[in-house]
Structure 1
Amino acid sequence: MNQIEVLNLVPKFLNFYDKANQPDINADERFKLWKEHYNFAAIPPGEEGQKMAREMLDHAFTQYAKHVPVLKEWNPDTSKLERTLIDIKDIMGYHQPVNLTVIYFVGGFENNPFVAPYGEGKAVCLPIECGESDIFLAHELTHIIHGETAGIKPSWERTIGSTLLQEGLATRISEYYVPGEPEEKYIANQDGWLEACKERHADILEGIIPFLDDQSAETVSRFIFGTGTAGLPREVYYAGWETVGKLLEEGVTFEKMAYIPEEDIPEYIRKAMVKETLR
C-alpha cells in the first residue's frame, strides 16, 4: 500500500511574510528573514542557488499581497494525491508500494515544481501560489515512479541523458494524463519559449548530444536553468519533449522507456536522437 506524507509549508511562508511585510524592512533584511524563517525555493544548491533565491524574492514579494487571503484558506487535497499516484504507477507499469513525501510550498510565481532528496527518499515539491495544477502533479509523480523503475538516485548531479529522458517522460505522461491542453501547458514556463525552441529545433538536438554522458552540476544547471548550446533556457526540457514524443510515435511505450536502467539511458537517448537528427 502506498504511503504519502504531506508537508504543508504554506503556514511557514505566511509567518515569514507577516514578519517581512513591514514598512521599515528593506530588501536585505527581507532576504535575511526569508532565510531564517522560510528558506525554501526551486533553486540549485550552493551560492548560485542563493543568488537565484534573492532575485526571485525581490521580484515576487510585491505580488504576494493579493494571494495571501487565498493562501490562508488553502489546504492540501490528499485524495487527489492518492488517486493520481495510483494512475501514474499504472501508466508506467509499476506495481510496488511507494513511500512518498509531498511538500506544498509558496514559490516566486515561476511555476517550477521539482523533486528533491528528502530523508532517505525523495519528495515532490509543489508550488501553490499560482493555484494547484493537475499537470504539475502528474509530472512530478512521474519523476518519483521513474526513479523506482530505472533505479535513478535522488541526486542533483545526473547525466544529461538521464535528465533528458526524465523530463521527456514527465512532460509526455502529464500530456497523456491531462489531455487537451495547449503544448505549452505541459512544458513551457515562459511565453514564447516553446516557439523559440521549435525555431532552433535541430540546433538544440545536435548541440545537446555531446553532453549526454556529462553529469557535472555545472552542466546540469546550464541545461536546466541557464542557456544551452543554442542559446535558449531549459533546452533539456525541449529535447526530452521532442525525443520522447518521437519514440512514442514509433511505438515505444511509456513503460518500456521507464524501465531503461539509469546507466544505460545516455546511450539509448543518443541512438534515438542521432536517428532523429539524421532524418
Structure 2
Amino acid sequence: MSVITELGGSFSPGRVGAMVLRYIYLLRSSWPRVADLIYWPTVQMITWGFIQTFVSHSSAPSAPMVAAGSLIGAVMLWDILFRGQLGFSMSFLEEMYSRNIGNLMMSPLRPLEFVAALIAMSLLRLAIAIVPVTALAVLFFGFNLWGLGLALAAFFINLMLTGWAVGLLVAGLLLRNGLGAEALAWSLMFILMPLTCVYYPVSVLPSWLQPVALLLPPTYVFEGLRALLIEHRFSAGDMAIAFGINAVLFAGGLIAFLMLLESAKRLGSLLQTGE
C-alpha cells in the first residue's frame, strides 16, 4: 500500500533540484572524481580503437566488420550503458558512505524525487565522460558516434533505461543489505555483459542461450549498431521491442527499490549502512 501511495503522491521539482545541486557540489569539490569520469572511457576508447586499427590491417576476413567501426562503436555504447548505471549507483553510494540515507528519508524529500535526482546526476556524469571521448574518437580514428543520427538517440534511451533499472535494483539491495552489497554496483553489469553481445552477434552464443540474450534490451542495441554500420540498416522494430522490455524492467526496478526501502524502514537498517 505504501508503494502505491508513494507512486501517486505529490512530486516536488524543487527538492529534486536541491539533491542534484548537492551532488554537483560533491563532484565539483573533488577533481579526482571528475578525472575518473573521463579517464576510464578515454583509456577504453583508445585501447580498443588501436586494436581495431591493428585487426583491420592484419586480418582480411574480419576487415569489413572492424573497418565499419563496429568494434569502437560497441566500446563507446557499452560505456554509455555502464557509466549510466554507475553514475546512478555512485551518487547513491555517496549517501551511503556519508551515512546520510536516514537523514534524507526523514526529510520532506520523497523517494521518487530522490530517484529523479539520481537519474539527473547519472546523465550529468555521463556527459562529462562521453563528450570528450567522442571528440577523441573522431580525432584518433575518424569515428563519429554522433554521425549515427536518430539511431543514436534510440540506442541511448534504451541503454540508459537499462542502466537505471539495474541502478534501482542495486540501490534497493544496498538499502536492505548495507555496504556488504556494494560490489553489485561494480560487477552486476559486467555479469550481464557476455549475454548482451557487445562485441559479437547473438548467433555466436549457444542456441539455448540466445533466447536469454534476446530478453535483454542492450542486445538489440548492439545488434542494431552492427546492422547500421555494416549493412546500413536500422531496425525500428527491434528498438521498439527493446523499449518495451526496458519499460517493464524499469518499472520492476522502481517497485523493487520502493519495496526494499519500506523493508529497510521496518527493520531499521537505514541507520545501519555498514558491512
- Scaled to the shorter chain, the TM-score interval is under 0.3
TM-score by length of 2: 0.28
Between 1 and 2, higher relative CO (CA 8 Å, sep ≥ 6) is seen in 2
TM-score by length of 1: 0.28
